[in-house]
């Protein structure tokens, strides 16, 4: 694992712990959203451990590392396009 992925791995582990702590004290309305985010974090951690992190789940393309630094739980190039659209809309 290169240094950038080590940093992402560390950040994801920290995020996982924060989500686990929040899930016990959140409202029932918010709980499903936290559970979904926790699952995304777990999936990203598993991919890092398996060496498949940063690869689109649909096409197999590499997801740009600069986007993974912003949202380390990205799963596909479609997610990247959505993120880039949102980022472009907020800078206008």
**Number of domains the chain is built from:** 1
pLDDT surpassing 90 at residue 90: no
State pLDDT tens for residues 35-71: 999 999 999 999 999 999 999 999 999 998 888 888 9
CATH number at residue 13: 1.20.120.910
Q: What is the pTM of this model?
A: 0.84
Task: Report residue 75: phi and psi, to 5°.
Answer: -115, -25
For 62, the token pair is 């590499």
Give pairs for 10-13: CB < 8 Å, separation 24+.
Answer: 11/72, 12/41, 12/44, 12/45, 12/48, 12/72, 12/73, 13/45
Q: What's the half-sphere exposure (Cβ side, CA atoms, 13 Å) at 68? A: 24
Domain that holds residue 20: 3-90
The DSSP line for 64-76 is PHHHHHH-TT--S
């Amino acid at each position: 694992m290169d240094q950038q992925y080590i940093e992402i791995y560390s950040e994801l582990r920290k995020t996982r712990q924060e989500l686990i702590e929040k899930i016990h004290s959140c409202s029932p309305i918010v709980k499903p959203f936290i559970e979904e985010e926790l699952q995304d974090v777990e999936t990203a951690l598993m991919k890092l451990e398996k060496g498949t992190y940063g690869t689109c789940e649909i096409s197999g393309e590499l997801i740009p590392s600069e986007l993974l630094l912003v949202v380390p739980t990205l799963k596909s190039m479609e997610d990247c396009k959505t993120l880039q659209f949102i980022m472009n809309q907020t800078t206008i």
